[in-house]
Amino acid sequence: MKIDGKPYRTIWVEENGWTVGIFDQTKLPHVFETTHLKTVDDAAHAIQDMLVRGAPLIGATAAYGICLALRKDASDEMLEAAAEKLLATRPTAVNLRWAVQEMIDTVRNLPREKRVIAAYKRAAEICDEDVETCRMIGVHGLSLIEEIARRKQGEPVNVLTHCNAGWLATVDWGTATSPIYQAHDAGIPVHVWVDETRPRNQGAALTAFELGHEEVPHTIIADNAGGHLMQHGQVDLCITGTDRTAANGDVANKIGTYLKALAAADNDVPFYVALPHSTIDWSLDDGFEIPIEERGAEEVTHMTGRAKNGKLVTVDIAAPGSPAANPAFDVTPARLVSGLITERGICEASLEGLLGLYPEMTDDE
Ligand code: MRU
């Protein structure tokens, strides 16, 4: 995706061949700043403190975290310790576990002197695969937007999205946003309702930032506005991402997703969820087994933004001394999901639907 007309990925290896570059997403949309990861601790910090976030990008960053650890010490002990450290950073997005396991499988049986090169190669492949996977999610999801566009005969298709499941949450394209970008590129008039997504405002800060730079028409709304817009026929389609999808099609995604799905069901608005294969947790029979991250209360009681003098400031917005709770994800039951958009096509949110697209998992699940 492009920022000021220049295409970027969200993670890359610098010219020295080993340092990993990322954008510090905690400073967006106000400061577009690169930061560098040089150790596995840097990678773990970037994931835990959300300099990078979004399920696929968390996985890609963890993959490079393993590379950085092995570069220092390619022993089995280091591999285990690095994996453990990275897995402890964030509990909900399963792509983290998937990517760490891919890296372990890649290097485990290699002699130490071959591990670093093999690890960087696999991490690069994970990133390249994510780009292609997200592009294909867009190719399949585009058909949903095209169908609505035909019905609306030139009127813009209004898509509502929650959180940031865009370019910044993946290596490129995004999951939920990929069909939107591809519709926009194909000349289909599309307009996006961007849920601000309290408490960290990934919608207002990140989704709006990237849609703006791609010149996709969009409007930021308070999280509470979606139901009203749906009641008034102003939402044609909802597309969100997911951090973990259980084998039965239940989806965990950013807190508030479930309420949007309820409102969509009540108003006959199609509610689709976009995901790569690495987000499916075949080991879980339903979504209520998914661990839900509980984040710090200060994310609810404080807000960070840019003051009139241009400086980034954090202000207290809650009654002093009141406690706050901050569950970061919720689970939307499969019955509220119209379909899952994957790199292999669109399927029903059910075990049968998923196995239809991933038949090789029939014996494994
Ligand atoms: O806490 P975050 O910002 O990592 O949560 C991200 C989301 O909930 C996204 O919508 C989800 O990861 C899908 S990512 C393509």
Q: How confident is the model over 117-176, as pLDDT tens digits?
A: 999 999 999 999 999 999 999 999 999 999 999 999 989 999 999 999 999 999 999 999
Same-domain pairing of 317 and 195: yes
Burial class (CB in 10 A: 0-12, 13-18, 19+), 254: buried
Q: With a 6 A CB cut-off, is 273 part of the ligand 1 pocket?
A: no
Q: With a 6 A CB cut-off, is 47 part of the ligand 1 pocket?
A: no
Structure tokens at 320: 């002093």
Give the per-residue pLDDT at 363.
72
Pocket test for ligand 1, best of 163, 197, 209, 275 (most atoms within 8 A of CB): 163
Give the per-residue pLDDT at 328.
98
Residue 331 counted as domain residue: yes
Pocket test for ligand 1, best of 58, 168, 202 (most atoms within 8 A of CB): 202
Give the per-residue pLDDT at 364.
56
The ligand 1 atom nearest the CA atom of 55: 12
Q: With a 6 A CB cut-off, is 202 part of the ligand 1 pocket?
A: yes
Residue 11 counted as domain residue: yes
Pocket test for ligand 1, best of 130, 170, 253 (most atoms within 8 A of CB): 253
Question: For strand 280-281 and strand 218-221, is the pairing parallel, antiparallel, or unpaired?
Answer: unpaired
The answer to whether 6 touches 19, Cβ cutoff 8 Å, is no
Residue 136 counted as domain residue: no
Q: Which residues of the chain have pLDDT under 70?
A: 364-365
Give the per-residue pLDDT at 82.
98
Determine which helix (DSSP H) or strand (DSSP E) holds 241, and give its type and residue range.
Answer: none
Domain of residue 20, CATH code? 1.20.120.420
* Span from the CA of 254 to the centroid of ligand 1 (angstroms): 6
Same-domain pairing of 232 and 348: yes
Structure tokens at 253: 């995604």
Residue 257: strand, helix, or coil: helix
Q: With a 6 A CB cut-off, is 353 part of the ligand 1 pocket?
A: no
Residue 137 counted as domain residue: no
Q: Which domain holds residue 299?
A: 142-361
| Half-sphere CA count of 322, side-chain side, radius 13 A | 10
The ligand 1 atom nearest the CA atom of 242: 13
The answer to whether 355 touches 347, Cβ cutoff 8 Å, is no
Domain of residue 154, CATH code? 3.40.50.10470
Letter for the amino acid at 341?
A: I
Determine which helix (DSSP H) or strand (DSSP E) holds 161, and give its type and residue range.
Answer: strand 157-161
pTM (two decimals): 0.97
* Span from the CA of 161 to the centroid of ligand 1 (angstroms): 12
Q: With a 6 A CB cut-off, is 59 part of the ligand 1 pocket?
A: no
Domain boundary pick from 129, 161, 187? 129
Give the per-residue pLDDT at 319.
98
Q: With a 6 A CB cut-off, is 170 part of the ligand 1 pocket?
A: yes
* Span from the CA of 169 to the centroid of ligand 1 (angstroms): 6
Measured between alpha carbons, how far is residue 128 from residues 67, 181, 182, 208, 225 in Å? 16, 19, 19, 25, 37
Residue 258 counted as domain residue: yes
Give which of 158, 298, 164 is closest to 230, Cα–Cα: 158
Residue 135 counted as domain residue: no
Neighbours of 265 (CB within 10 A): 16
CA–CA dist 56, 98 (Å, integer): 10
Residue 303 counted as domain residue: yes
Burial class (CB in 10 A: 0-12, 13-18, 19+), 119: buried
Give the per-residue pLDDT at 227.
98
Structure tokens at 43: 């990678």
Structure tokens at 16: 């020295």
CA–CA dist 148, 146 (Å, integer): 6
Structural domains in the chain (count)? 2
Q: Positive or negative CA dihedral for 67, 130, 241, 196? A: positive
Neighbours of 222 (CB within 10 A): 11
Residue 192 counted as domain residue: yes
Active site residues: 243
Q: With a 6 A CB cut-off, is 203 part of the ligand 1 pocket?
A: no
CA–CA dist 40, 113 (Å, integer): 19
Same-domain pairing of 155 and 113: no
Domain boundary pick from 107, 129, 151? 129
